[in-house]
Structure 1
């Protein structure tokens, strides 16, 4: 690599607080900026505040039968 070329650094926004995070080994919680933001996000998924849209789960419906 010559001096005129620079290594491109990827920067992403923390999904929780929107702080810019360098995507690399110096950011162990990437894409989060910190363990705290990572745990806030995990808690939102665990409490089902976040979900991936899709077809409803028919196995929990009343009257469902596999036969």
Structure 2
């Protein structure tokens, strides 16, 4: 028998078994999944990287200094 892999829910850190018995994985529940989705929609989460500008309008924008 294979050992069960357990991960922490990214929202509440509850243990979640990684398998078909946990359809919302890596989240423990639909509620935690929706909380995380709301955080992305509110731009509370982001993926680091270089900022992108739309090439069509980039000439119209003032230069950005970081």
* TM-score interval for Structure 1 and Structure 2 normalised by the shorter chain: 0.7 to 0.9
Q: How many residues align?
A: 58
CA RMSD, 1 decimal:
1.6
- TM-score of the superposition, structure 2-length normalised? 0.80
The SS at the match of 1:59 is coil
Please, which runs of 5 or more residues in structure 1 have no aligned partner?
Answer: 1-5
For 2:5 and 2:44, how far apart are their aligned partners in 1?
29
Task: Give deviations 1:3-62, integer Å, cap 9, x for gaps.
Answer: xxx4111100000000000001110100000000000000000111100000012228xx
When normalised by structure 1's length, the TM-score is: 0.79
**4+ runs of 1 displaced by more than 6 Å?**
none
Match of 1:20 in 2: 15
Matched, 1:7 2:2: yes
- Per the alignment, residue 3 of structure 1 pairs with none
Greater radius of gyration (CA): 1
Superposition map of 1:9-48 within 5 A: 9-48=4-43
